Amino acid sequence: MSSPVSVTILGKDYQIACPEEEKEALLSSARLLNSNMEKIRASGKVVGLDRIAVMAALNIAHDFINLQNKEDHGMEDINRTILQLKEKVSAFLEEDRQLEL
């Protein structure tokens, strides 16, 4: 069941309907967004709430994509290592089989 959760972003309060089990994730997301937006506003390079929000969204999306890419490369490394181990075991078993003949 959803219940309203209050979050504050750049001094503005927002009420967001959220299932109870997702409340902590929503609050963490709001803190991350608020922090990102405050940094952008403090830099003085971006003016206007809508532009600050877009820049914060782009920064967060960029970080997310980088994290995904790192995880994907990590899986590629693991899969490559497993394949190499499999080839070594196969080569060893083949060599052992040839010694028996």
The pLDDT tens digits of the residues spanning 57-70 come to: 999 999 988 888 77
Could you write out the DSSP letters of every residue in 4-20? EEEEEETTEEEEEEEEG
What the block records as the tokens of 28 is 């963490």
Measured distance CA(68)–CA(50) in Å, rounded: 27
The reported pLDDT for the residue numbered 83 is 84
In the chain, the percentage of residues whose pLDDT exceeds 70 is: 88
The predicted structure's pLDDT at residue 67: 82
Distance, in Å, from the CA atom of 60 to the CA atom of 21, rounded to the nearest integer, reads: 23
Q: Where are the alpha helices (DSSP H) in 1-101?
A: 23-43, 49-100
Q: Which of 29, 26, 15 is nearest to 57 (CA)?
A: 29
* All structural domains of the chain: 2-100 (3.30.160.880)
The predicted model gives 3-19 an average pLDDT of 94
